[in-house]
Structure 1
Amino acid sequence: MLVDVRERAEAARVEILGPVVTVETFTDEEEAVRRADDVPFGLAASVWAENARRSHDIAVRLDFGTDWGNSHLVLADEVPWGDLKGSGYGRDLSLYALDDYSRTKHVMHHPSHPLPP
């Protein structure tokens, strides 16, 4: 656990894929959301607050692929697990994962101009 991490410190801006948490202080929710979103990555975020509604409302505003309110790493197979920004590519779990193996294409043909046999 890294405590009293300053704004824009490297530890707060990179994805440390390990058991590391940074603890930062802020003056209000607007600053907290701005600082959280001011990173080049967006895999996941957790918001903890005494009030469950408050943690939910803040989590919804964050620009991360998965956000939790008063919890962390709770996953369900029916919802996508994925990332935003520079954290990777695509979605795992759920039907959204099939999009990585699919390509949609729209072809429209005007009925007054028949196709040749």
Structure 2
Amino acid sequence: MATGGGALDGPGYFVAPTVLVDVPEGAEVAREEIFGPVSTVETFTDEEEAVRRADDVPLGRSASVRTENARRAHAVAARLDSGTVRVNSHLVLASEVPWGGFKGSGYGRDLSV
């Protein structure tokens, strides 16, 4: 754990934002949906492995691609089996387009005119 993981001081039941590093392939924390402020940091050797690992999960609500190469960003985003793929950002939601997950995430599409 790089940071976080504990309860925050004060009233209520809140967990500090948590970053988990050196997460191995297939780890439960990388495959299951966590409803809390938790992020995993995983490494990969090439683009093929990154896409394979990203898609090897039972859920598919959203994904993020981070890169300085715009062509690579669009190519990788198109290959991911995810309801929403963001490039160099996360949790940005355009309310004018349908939104929802793939696979075990969600039950269809929401929003949009």
TM superposition score category, shorter chain reference: 0.7 to 0.9
Percent identical pairs in the alignment equals 75
What are the ranges of 5 or more consecutive residues in structure 1 without an aligned counterpart? 96-117
Q: CA 1:19–1:52 in structure 2 vs 1: closer, same or farther (change >3 Å)?
A: farther
Report the Cα distance in structure 1 between the residues aligned to 2:67 and 2:58, rounded to whole angstroms: 25
Tell me if structure 2 keeps the 8 A contact 1:56–1:68.
no
1:22 equivalent in alignment to 2:40: yes
8 Å contact kept, 1:79–1:93 = yes
Pick from 51, 68, 81 the counterpart of residue 50 of structure 1.
Answer: 68
Q: How many residues align?
A: 95
TM-score (norm 2): 0.79
TM-score (norm 1): 0.76
Aligned to 2:102: 84
Larger Rg over CA atoms = 1
- Show the counterpart of 1:93: 111
Q: CA RMSD in A?
A: 1.1
Look up the match of 2:3.
none
Q: Deviations over 1:89-116 (max 9, x none)?
A: 1111114xxxxxxxxxxxxxxxxxxxxx
Q: Secondary structure at the match of 1:49?
A: coil
Q: 2:52 aligns with which of 26, 30, 34?
A: 34
Most deviating of 14-23 and 38-47? 14-23
Is the helix fraction higher in 1 or 2?
A: 1
Q: What are the residue-to-residue correspondences of 1:62-77 with 2, within 5 Å?
A: 62-77=80-95
